[in-house]
Structure formats: C-alpha cells, structure tokens
C-alpha cells in the first residue's frame, strides 16, 4: 500500500552552478557542483543531467560521484552557456543513514546568468542554487 511506503525527503543536499575562474582557460567558466551540507556523509551519489525545451534536447550525462563527506562539495560537470536557454535537470540518487534518497534539481531556462549570482557559503564562490 502506498501509505506504508516511507519516501525520505532530501534535506541539506544541493546542486549549484558556480561561475569561477579557470586557470587553464584563462577566463570564467560555469561548473555544476554537488553540495552536501548534512552532518553525515552521502554515499554512492549518482547524478543524471539533461537539458531540454520544446524543440531541443541535450545528451543525457551520468556521473558517479561516490561518497561526499559531511559539509563537503564536489565539482561534477562543466557547462556550456549554450544550454542556459534550456530547462536543465539534475537527478540525484544517494544513500545516507541506510536509506535511498532521490531528488530532481531544476534550473529553468535563462535562470543561469551572472545577474542571478549569490555567494554559495560552503564553497565560498559565486553561483546559483537549483530550485
């Protein structure tokens, strides 16, 4: 029965798009990060990313991130500005406290832009958190 199924809610785990300096490219680039603000580690983290609108679609990319310790973060994907006109979805699955968690993070089209940047505290860089 549906009422007997416990679906845990993801708290204190985020996806952020960070606008940061790249020493190799010698300019600012956009990167996606997974942030674990929990007091415990998350394990076997997997992210599936894709972008789409009514006419276009990106490739689906899968990232196996393994374990993120408590209060840590990991960069997992560079982003091209051409995809910012699409709805970008990052589907996250991970284990924590012996439970499986799932959450979709959405960046709606045209929301990834420099005027929307705020300081992401754990990373201490300018970026945008997903909805």
For 44, 85, 88, the CA distances from 10, given in Å and listed in that order, are 15, 27, 19
Structural domain including 58 reads 2-121
Residues 118, 24: Cα–Cα separation, whole Å: 24
37-91 pLDDT, tens digit each? 999 999 999 999 999 998 999 999 999 999 999 999 999 999 999 999 999 999 9
Contacts of 125 (CB under 8 A, 6+ apart): 18, 19, 20, 119
Asked whether residue 43 is domain-assigned, the answer is: yes
Does residue 74 form part of some domain? yes
Start-to-end CA distance of the chain, whole Å, equals 30
pLDDT level of residue 131 (50, 70, 90 thresholds): low
Residue 19 domain-assigned? yes
Number of compact structural domains in the chain: 1
CATH number of domain containing 51: 2.60.40.10
- 60 lies in a domain? yes
> Please, which residues bridge with residue 66 across strands?
45
CA distance 38 to 34: 12
Tell me 8's DSSP state.
Answer: P
Q: How confident is the model at residue 95 (pLDDT cuts 50, 70, 90)?
A: very high
Distance (Å, whole) CA 112 – CA 117 = 8
Measured CA to CA, the distance from residue 32 to residue 130 in angstroms comes to 10
Judge whether 127 and 19 are in contact, CB under 8 Å: yes
Q: Is residue 126 part of a domain?
A: no
- pLDDT digit string, tens, across residues 3-52: 667 778 999 999 999 999 998 878 999 999 999 999 999 999 999 999 99
44, part of any domain: yes
């Amino acid at each position: 029965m549906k009422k007997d199924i416990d679906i845990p809610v993801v708290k204190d785990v985020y996806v952020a798009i960070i606008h940061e300096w790249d020493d190799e490219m010698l300019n600012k680039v956009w990167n996606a990060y997974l942030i674990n603000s929990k007091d415990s580690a998350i394990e076997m983290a997997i992210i599936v990313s894709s972008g789409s609108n009514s006419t276009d679609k990106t490739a689906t990319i899968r990232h196996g991130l393994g374990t993120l310790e408590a209060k840590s973060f990991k960069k997992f994907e560079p982003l091209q500005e051409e995809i910012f006109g699409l709805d970008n979805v990052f589907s996250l699955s991970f284990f924590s406290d012996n439970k499986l968690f799932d959450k979709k993070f959405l960046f709606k089209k045209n929301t990834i832009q420099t005027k929307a940047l705020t300081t992401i505290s754990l990373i201490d860089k300018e970026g945008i958190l997903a909805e």
